[in-house]
Amino acid sequence: MSSHVVAPARIDSTTTVPALEVKGLVKDFHSGGLFSRASVRALGGVDLAIRKGEIVALVGESGSGKSTLARCVARLEKPTSGRILLNGTDVLKRDRFQASREYRSQLQMVFQDPFGSLNPVHRIEHFLTRSLTLHGKAGNPAQLCSRLDGLMTTVGLTPDMLNSYPHELSGGQRQRVAIARALAVEPEVILADEPTSMLDVSVRIGILNLMRQLRDQQGISMLYITHDLASARYLADRIAVMFAGELVEEGESLDLLANPAHPYTRLLVSAVPDPARTGSYDPHERAALRTAVMESASCAFDGDPEQQCSATEPVRHRVGEPANQHWVRCHLYRPPAAAASHALSAEPLEPKLQIATEEPSTAESRTEKQAST
């Protein structure tokens, strides 16, 4: 694949089959030593779909299960249960060995540490040639040369850098090589696990722009894992928020950030510096909300045990217009019209422990049980 590859239109809304779909994905890790039967639930039944040519950002604090989700999807971890569909095909039903090479040619992962993912004893040419050869895309020597040059150009590097060793490149350049290696197999989906978090702020934007360009020009779908909501807003079409191994909110990026409906999302949003934010910002209130989030085994924002997620699993509520594909799973969510004086959208950037006090009327409630928008 080279820079001349022309892409399909960005998000392909003509097909109903997502490029990647995860259904009810559960992952339990064994914990507590050799003879222990204890386990820790890293993923508690995740449903997520990424359409062709779409970038979905997965955000959430450390330990919420973001990497576990990506590693399960990349088949680096075996899920405890659930389904993973690539273009509608259930990949877990296939034999692991048979599936692996074919699967990797469709789905690639880019990791956080660009240095750790490149063996320092090899030149850049080695990594790209190996990828092309393994997936049968090297062709004859002349074609190989042209593909190597094309890959370097696509990721914004010069072909003469093929002779360099990883330590001779900057962090940003190394991450570009890691992306070129992923592109060598012409994947349909890239899972990028915090690809910019170890890079200097000044080079992050370049990597984000490159990812954007790959989506726009080659129609590649991406799961972009990040702690950084600002970059998620910049890059992603949609944002999914993960809390304690579950997705609690998802929506079109700008809408979700402007109208965060889940207390946890509001906590994350409140931590993003925003010069345009109006109204008072109370650090004590934020600290209290943070403590409530961190101390609860599950999402227990409300004092009423009947309302806690551990007692009853919350259903999905649509937030706002259907076009925004925005939903939230929270017992405390009230549609704005039903709780005018406590409307979530009234002060979207100020977290409140007690969000709503009124019960919504049946007519006004827009509850959609487990409905995917």
Ligand X SMILES: Nc1ncnc2c1ncn2[C@@H]1O[C@H](COP(=O)(O)OP(=O)(O)OP(=O)(O)O)[C@@H](O)[C@H]1O
**What are the backbone dihedrals phi and psi of residue 362, each rounded to the nearest 5 degrees, phi first?**
-60, -40
**Token duo for residue 369:** 């049980």
Smallest separation (angstroms) from ligand X to the CB of 63 = 4
Nearest-approach distance from CB 192 to ligand X, in angstroms: 13
| Binding of ligand X by 40 (CB under 6 A) | yes
Query: Considering only residues 18, 53, 60, 172, which one is a binding residue for ligand X as defined by CB under 6 A?
Result: 60
Specify the residue, 18 or 65, whose C-beta has the smaller distance to ligand X.
65
Taking the least distance from each CB to ligand X, the nearer of 62 and 341 is 62
How does DSSP assign 186-238, residue by residue? --SEEEEESTTTTS-HHHHHHHHHHHHHHHHHH--EEEEEES-HHHHHHH-SE
**Binding partner selected for residue 29 from ligand X, Mg ion, none, CB under the kind-specific 5 to 8 Å limit:** ligand X
**Which of these segments, 62-70, 264-272, 285-293, 342-350, binds ligand X (CB under 6 A)?**
62-70
Scanning 65-73, 91-99, 150-158, 317-325 for contacts with ligand X by CB under 6 A, the matching segment is: 65-73
60 binds, among Mg ion, ligand X, none (CB under 5 to 8 A by kind): ligand X
Nearer to ligand X, 31 or 345 (CB): 31
State the amino acid at position 103 in one-letter form.
Y
Interface with Mg ion (CB under 5 A), residue from 19, 20, 46, 67: 67
What's the token pair of residue 14? 């003509």
Using left for φ > 0, alpha for ψ between -120 and 50, and beta otherwise, residue 127 falls in alpha
Among 44, 53, 65, 166, binds ligand X (CB under 6 A): 65
Residues 209-248 interacting with ligand X (rule: CB under 6 A): none
Among 67, 105, 259, 325, binds ligand X (CB under 6 A): 67
β-bridge partners, 23: 83
* Closest to 246 measured CA to CA, from 25, 10, 4, 16: 25
Backbone angles phi, psi at 328, to 5 degrees: -140, 145
63 binds ligand X (CB under 6 A): yes
Give how many residues touch Mg ion by CB under 5 A.
1
Spatial distance between the Cα atoms of 175 and 203, rounded to a whole number of angstroms:
10
Provide, rounded to whole angstroms, the least separation between the CB of residue 70 and ligand X: 8
User: Under the criterion CB under 6 A, does residue 329 sit at the interface with ligand X?
Assistant: no
54 contacts: CB under 8 Å, gap ≥ 6: 10, 11, 19, 215, 221, 222, 237, 238
Euclidean distance between CA atoms 305 and 339, whole angstroms: 21
Using CB under 6 A, count the residues that bind ligand X. 12
Among 8, 29, 89, 357, binds ligand X (CB under 6 A): 29
Which residue in this structure is represented by tokens 């490159």?
Answer: 210
Interface with ligand X (CB under 6 A): 29, 31, 40, 42, 60, 62-68
Interface with Mg ion (CB under 5 A): 67
